[in-house]
Amino acid sequence: MKIIDLSLPIDDKAFEVHKVAIERVTHKAGVEKFNRLIMGKTLSGRIRYLLGQRILKKEDLPDEEFLSLEIVHAPVHIGTHLDYSFHYGSKSENRLSKTADEIPLEYCYQDGIKLDLTHKKPNETIKASDIEEALLKINYELKLWDIVLLQTGADKLCGSAKYFSDYPGVDISAIDYLLDRGVKVFGVDTMGIDRPYRFMLKEFLEKKDPRALYPAHFYGRKREFIHIERLANLEKLPPCGFKVICFPVRIKNTGAAWARVVAIL
């Protein structure tokens, strides 16, 4: 058995549109933080802390070190993650949208299919015909609950501004093609399933047509689907013959959730 990591990290040093911060409390600083938190729970404790008293000293600990602690401040759409219908709108298929903690886990451990779409250029969209052609090349017919991974190669731009501006989107016809064949989850190695902001906004401003804005995401209001964004290393996968595991972190009432997505060969 071989496990291939298909995930990107949450990285506070990488270029991001949204603010990402990771507060790192070191082993040395952890002693002081412990005292501040524990003693701060009562008024008398806060006063004693301000007067310089401590309930735990570094000399009380092995190597004078406490436990490290990292606190992540980041949107759920940073790093590899799964989007569900609540992200797309308040309703999907004429009922209340579902949140990421409601994603059925059985959808998240299924046979994986990788489709090579590296020929698609920025500002282009992956259409149903592209999906069909890619399936014909590998002589594969989709079945119920297959997890389909769309390889564009855009993950190699991660960490730079181009990651947010140079990748193809997914056309509604491609989403329909997958859903009509029983696919519940599909994934992309891009930062989103719609075309980059610069193309959508340019068209919207020129034509004043709201259909130019996030058509793939907003389509989730009409048909329910789950998609994975920010995959990586899809070039390491064969076209088929592997399992995908994409269990989301259980965060209450969010439209997306981080996931450590892997393939098992």
CA–CA dist 261, 147 (Å, integer): 12
Q: Are 150 and 232 in contact (CB under 8 A)?
A: no
pLDDT on residue 209: 87
Q: How many CA atoms lie less than 13 Å away from 172 in the CB half-sphere?
A: 14
Q: Tell me the sheet residues that pair with 81.
A: 229, 258
Tokens 């994934």 locate to 187
pTM, two decimals, is 0.92
Q: List the domains of the chain with CATH numbers.
A: 3-15+76-264 (3.50.30.50), 21-73 (no CATH)
Question: Residue 194 and residue 31: Cα distance in Å, rounded?
Answer: 46
CB 10 within 8 A of CB 257: no
Three-state SS for 141? coil
CA 9 – CA 201 distance, rounded (Å): 28
Backbone angles phi and psi of 187, in degrees to 5? -135, 155
Q: Which whole number is the average pLDDT over 218-227?
A: 98
* CA 156/CA 260 separation, integer angstroms: 18
State pLDDT tens for residues 73-122. 999 999 999 999 999 999 999 999 999 999 999 999 999 999 999 999 99
Q: Is the pLDDT of residue 7 over 90?
A: yes
Q: Over the stretch 47-83, which tens digit does the pLDDT of each residue have?
A: 999 999 998 998 998 999 999 999 999 999 999 999 9
Amino acid at residue number 89: G
